[in-house]
Homo-oligomer: A and B are copies of this chain.
């Protein structure tokens, strides 16, 4: 056994999260794509079957009340809340991340008020946030200013209404400094909107603690909610009474079954709801969140850093120098839960890796992305991934 393989065995033995792996359906593939689609939690199929056969098939319409369908968006929001450092009543689940970015940004501009007419957006963002920010700017009479996150503090000013940032860069895996950037945005009198897609479930976020104004995220990556599962929207508690949604659907009405012609928003996070929630996906997500029972996000973060450290070490040891270049920061304070390796033939390399049982993903034009989900990825998996990668790169 090689030295890294031996070390992997020891690390796995000492891993307090190792038993959590048993809560997922896995096979002998090394699955390093949980930052794109989380693996299936074992309790989900049975729950979905119950939702379909009994709740829909037998109770039918009665389930809106009796099976708790109607209140699912806020109930699931409360379940997500502790994972991102939010108190109860601040998050609702529903819609896609893109739609929630639109709600959050438009609402932020409206709350900023006072002649503020500029939206600053992370220039390195996952594209959809940029496209939606452009639309939000256009529809609120704002100018859109794309800026790399590090330069954000330097461009803030009296015109800044809202700033849309990613907690972790989808491509490089770089973790941005949420507390200090949020403070800088607040200092300028603007509102901070954070996209947590690549951090929620992988590391502590501390939304309440750091006074984040609004946040959105998906649930199908580190939260394992299933393909296209509902996204969520966080609104800081004291801002909720001023949250003025551009998508005021009947589900956010103070009295949704009153069938009133005039809109009157509900109190609290419910204001972020729009139309009828997508129950099958919503309740699959609710079941998936049970894998977090008894798991602390701090333990997840510690293991995540240990895994990515170990992967980078194995890559350095196994892969010929210069063949790949890590885009992921070495400093822990700047690293999310993925490792991104640049190489010219990344598209081909990823195809061959997948054929050899190591699943990551490719981001055009030249990035190999490996996501480490501490709930089900172990150190032996990690060593094997680096070993196979070296073989593929050599071939």
Contact = CB atoms under 8 A, between A and B. Distances in A.
Contacts of A58: 25, 27
A326 interface: no
A120 B276 CA distance: 24
Q: Could you say which interface size class chain A belongs to?
A: 35 or more
A258 interface: yes
Contacts of A227: 55-56, 63-64, 69, 276, 278-280
Contacts of A123: 261
Specify which of A171, A249, A258, A284 lies most central, judged by the most chain B CB atoms within 10 Å of its CB.
A249
B40 A45 contact: no
A249 B98 contact: yes
A64 B27 CA distance: 19
Interface in A313-339: none
A298 interface: no
A35 to B, nearest CB: 10
Nearest to A367: B259
A357 to B, nearest CB: 12
A128 B45 contact: no
B36 A61 contact: yes
B361 A61 contact: yes
Given A275-B96, A280-B281, A246 B135 contact: yes
Given A126-B259, A227-B279, A228-B277, 7 more contacts: A45-B52, A96-B276, A139-B140, A146-B261, A228-B278, A278-B278, A281-B281
11 contacts: A25-B57, A37-B64, A40-B52, A40-B53, A40-B60, A63-B227, A106-B139, A131-B263, A227-B280, A228-B278, A231-B275
